[in-house]
A = this chain, B = another copy of it.
């Protein structure tokens, strides 16, 4: 069973050669130059580092530092208050939303940027429950939530349920169709599972939710920017997502909210801040919601972070999401292949589906002492992350991760576990 050192060497050489060939043929390879990578810190451990944590914090796009400097020094420092008009600060939430729109299959005018994902989940779920309750004779008082969700969605769903008098029903996505019924108001689902990397069936589940007369709310944190998301085509009602993972907006950059155009006139926000008003500078004591997705706004937009995100989104210029998806699948396939070749049998087990249709852009490996193993990987320059209790998580950002990176990461994992 065991290979000789020569055979193992040959295998590594073959994999490295294959990686080089794949990189040479990669039509997206040039996009790496749009990011700050291969810095002194990346080389601190000797060999070049491999950043496979873009699904937690995307790398810095080259356009960002200069833009931020201009926003700080000129727009804020010199123009000051005039920048709300002259530098386009006031309209930034929808303008930047429209830049995200093509990445998630949305026509313009349906996305507003601002607040955190958690806050947007709250807006979306409460608004969904309110819209679901508008018509029909029987009360719709159940919120269904993905039981395997990233915790914040579950916590916020629980609060939304409590504050709207709903019952919260946590089930695994596969079991969602079975619990839908005439009392279902809204269903909150993740497009890609944050732990396992499993990709859920957005159009299919949305159709099932609609068949039950309820509204579908999707969390796109782990899919937008890594694979095609078809919000309009899938007839999704509401969606939220962060911008600091595959959209590279920076640490804690503002999240976004999608409200399908037809629903916008009925979108009744639980957080009707002044900037969502029909006449925000009218300073009227009575609230009157503005027209369009501006209803998803709350307070004063956070300009520094928002304009950093706007610059970050320039990396998508001329990039096809379809090509990104093809590369993403090739990267994760190759990673699994290399792990299989380098890591002794039985030490890790992929919990990420092998079927392409069920895979996002990450690979999650179950592993004993996973926290300790990840620490050793990071010491050797392979940056992934650990998710309790036993998951090594590797995210593959097709815009800047190459096949040689993948081969190296798997090789180092083999060395750590070998």
Contact = CB atoms under 8 A, between A and B. Distances in A.
Interface stretch (A20-28, A224-232, A273-281): A273-281
Contact of A158 (B287, B298, B302): B287
Interface in A282-325: 282-285, 287, 298-306, 308
A289 to B, nearest CB: 10
Interface in A82-126: 82-84, 89, 115-119, 122, 126
Contacts of A303: 250-252
Nearest to A274: B152
Interface stretch (A1-9, A56-64, A179-187, A332-340): A56-64
Given A250-B303, A251-B304, A383 B51 contact: no
Interface stretch (A66-74, A197-205, A207-215, A349-357): A66-74
Q: Give the one of A39, A68, A252 with max B CB within 10 A.
A: A252
Nearest to A255: B299
A118 B273 CA distance: 6
A170 B60 CA distance: 47
A143 to B, nearest CB: 15
Nearest to A67: B72
A254 interface: yes
Contact of A152 (B147, B159, B273): B273
A280 B302 CA distance: 24
A272 B89 contact: no
A154 to B, nearest CB: 6
Interface in A25-75: 36, 39-42, 51, 53, 56-57, 59-60, 64-65, 68-69, 72-73, 75
Interface of A: 36, 39-42, 51, 53, 56-57, 59-60, 64-65, 68-69, 72-73, 75-84, 89, 115-119, 122, 126, 147, 150-152, 154-156, 158-159, 163-164, 170, 195, 242, 244, 250-255, 269-275, 277, 281-285, 287, 298-306, 308, 383, 385, 387-388
Contacts of A65: 69, 72-73, 77
A83 B158 contact: no
Nearest to A58: B80
Q: Give the one of A56, A126, A152, A244 with max B CB within 10 A.
A: A152
Contacts of A242: 300
Contacts of A306: 252
Given A271-B119, A273-B116, A53 B72 contact: no
Contacts of A75: 251
Given A155-B274, A252-B300, A304-B305, A76 B60 contact: yes
A399 to B, nearest CB: 15
B302 A252 contact: yes
A155 B72 contact: no
A62 B252 CA distance: 24
Contact of A305 (B244, B270, B302, B383): B302
A254 B302 contact: yes
A81 B60 contact: no
A55 to B, nearest CB: 10
A54 B229 CA distance: 43
B152 A304 contact: no
A89 B251 contact: yes
20 contacts: A39-B78, A53-B80, A56-B81, A57-B76, A59-B77, A60-B73, A65-B69, A68-B68, A68-B304, A72-B308, A81-B383, A84-B251, A89-B252, A116-B299, A116-B302, A252-B304, A253-B304, A282-B388, A304-B305, A304-B308
Nearest to A74: B41
Given A89-B252, A251-B302, 16 more contacts: A51-B80, A56-B81, A57-B81, A65-B72, A116-B300, A118-B298, A118-B299, A119-B119, A119-B273, A152-B274, A155-B287, A156-B271, A163-B270, A252-B302, A281-B388, A283-B387
